[in-house]
Amino acid sequence: MSTRKRFSWYYFSSPQSFYPLAGALQPWCAALAVLFCGVGLYISFFVAPTDATQGEAYRIIFIHVAAAWMSMFLYLVMGFWSGVGLVLNTRLSSMVATALAPTGALFTFIALWTGALWGKPTWGTWWVWDARLTSELILLFLYIGFIALQGAIDDQRRADKAGAVLALVGVINVPIIYFSVKWWSTLHQGASVSLTSAPTMAKTMLLGMLIMALGFWMYSIAATLARVRCVILERERHTDWVAAEIDGLA
Amino acid sequence: MNWGSWQNFVAMGGYGLYVWGSYIVTLVVLVAEIVSLTMRRRGVIERLAKYYAARRRNHETET
């Protein structure tokens, strides 16, 4: 039996105790996001040298790769919390999954948009239906499908379950995106950074990319925490603590 | 990296449209999300305040 004083991971699985924690963490993540993105932008434009073959066009890499990483990573996190919500029936897990989807969709859009603007000067085309680009587009549709499906079902618990099943089935797409440049011949270049081999790019370029990715990561956490707080207030409105919280704010 | 002049920085070696088109749209998307989240929070608080006020009025008329 757990006593009141013993720390428990389950403590923060209750929306009531997670709400203030999210509120406390959010400004720190936002501040770190501004810091990392500021340093990242400085390196992107004032430290990183001109690319020998692509000229200045390559500078899109700093947001393109960071956004593409976030789009896949956020989907995995969304799938994870959807799965936890489905198996353990914890309300907060489903709320976190719901809160992650719009931010994930936005980063997927940014990855596709910056990819098109990078493709035009380097490949000569905005878009090709090859494996990498198509699977990333499917990722965008999965995010939108998840949001639409949850929004279309009135019963919250059923909406969470249906969304979770969709999210989990869609997880298969993430390794397809990641390995698509290896499995199929494609216009898209291979991974610039991998865990198994040395990066194939200049140190300052890599540093800029990693710091931008950290910035986007912190931004995603801040945005998700802000959104999950809204979701918690909406869904827990029948509880006394939300009524007290609103009374204190309004 | 020394750009020399403001014009050179904006021109991005002839790729200005693509580079700035990427960075500006990314900035707009992220700012739009921040604004929408701020508005959503305000909206939720406003709506729930009305909801609780209505609930309290109903209680008073019932008793």
Task: For residue B17, list chain A residues with Cβ-Cβ distance below 8 A.
Answer: 117
Task: For residue B21, list chain A residues with Cβ-Cβ distance below 8 A.
Answer: 117
> Whole-angstrom Cα distance, residue A10 to residue A1?
13
Q: Are A160 and A85 in contact (CB under 8 A)?
A: yes
CB contact under 8 A, B25 and A110: yes
For residue A108, which of A134, A82, A86, A90 has the smallest C-alpha distance? A134
**Which residues contact residue A52 at a Cβ distance below 8 angstroms, ignoring those fewer than 6 apart?**
none
pLDDT of residue A187: 75
Helices (H), A89-202: 91-123, 131-152, 156-170, 173-183
Indicate the residue of A57, A67, A230 with minimum beta-carbon distance to B44.
Answer: A230
Q: How far is B12 from chain A (nearest CA, A)?
A: 6
CB contact under 8 A, A63 and B22: yes
pLDDT of residue B13: 86
For residue A143, which of A100, A87, A177, A111 has the smallest C-alpha distance? A100
pLDDT of residue B58: 87
For residue A12, which of A104, A75, A74, A90 has the smallest C-alpha distance? A90
Residue B48 is part of which domain span?
21-62
CB contact under 8 A, A110 and B26: yes
> Whole-angstrom Cα distance, residue B33 to residue A45?
25
User: Does residue B14 lie in a domain region?
Assistant: no
pLDDT, tens digit, 9 for 90 and up, residues B18-57? 999 999 999 999 999 999 999 999 999 999 999 999 998 9
pLDDT of residue A177: 92
Indicate the residue of B9, B22, B33 with minimum beta-carbon distance to A106.
Answer: B33
> Whole-angstrom Cα distance, residue A25 to residue A103?
17
User: Does residue B50 lie in a domain region?
Assistant: yes
Helix axes A203-235, A240-249, angle to 10 degrees: 110
> Whole-angstrom Cα distance, residue A204 to residue B9?
19
pLDDT of residue A6: 63
Q: Where are the domains of chain A?
A: 26-48+58-245
For residue B37, which of A229, A211, A93, A207 has the smallest C-alpha distance? A229
Q: Are A203 and A161 in contact (CB under 8 A)?
A: no
Task: For residue A243, list chain B residues with Cβ-Cβ distance below 8 A.
Answer: 52
pLDDT of residue A211: 96
pLDDT of residue A80: 97
In the structure encoding, which two tokens stand for residue A212, read together?
């931008």
Amino acid code (one letter) for A176: I
Q: How far is A230 from chain B (nearest CA, A)?
A: 6
**Which residues contact residue B30 at a Cβ distance below 8 angstroms, ignoring those fewer than 6 apart?**
A106, A219
Q: Walk along chain A (250 residues) and give the pLDDT tens digit of each residue.
A: 445 556 666 777 889 999 999 999 999 999 999 999 999 999 999 988 888 788 888 899 999 999 999 999 999 999 999 999 999 988 999 999 999 999 999 999 999 999 999 999 988 899 989 889 999 999 999 999 999 999 999 999 999 999 999 999 999 999 999 988 888 877 787 776 665 666 667 788 889 999 999 999 999 999 999 999 999 999 999 999 999 999 988 7
pLDDT of residue A3: 52
Indicate the residue of A55, A121, A226 with minimum beta-carbon distance to B41.
Answer: A226
Instruction: Please state the domain count of chain B.
Output: 1
CB contact under 8 A, B9 and A45: yes
pLDDT of residue B63: 61
Indicate the residue of A110, A118, A230 with minimum beta-carbon distance to B18.
Answer: A118
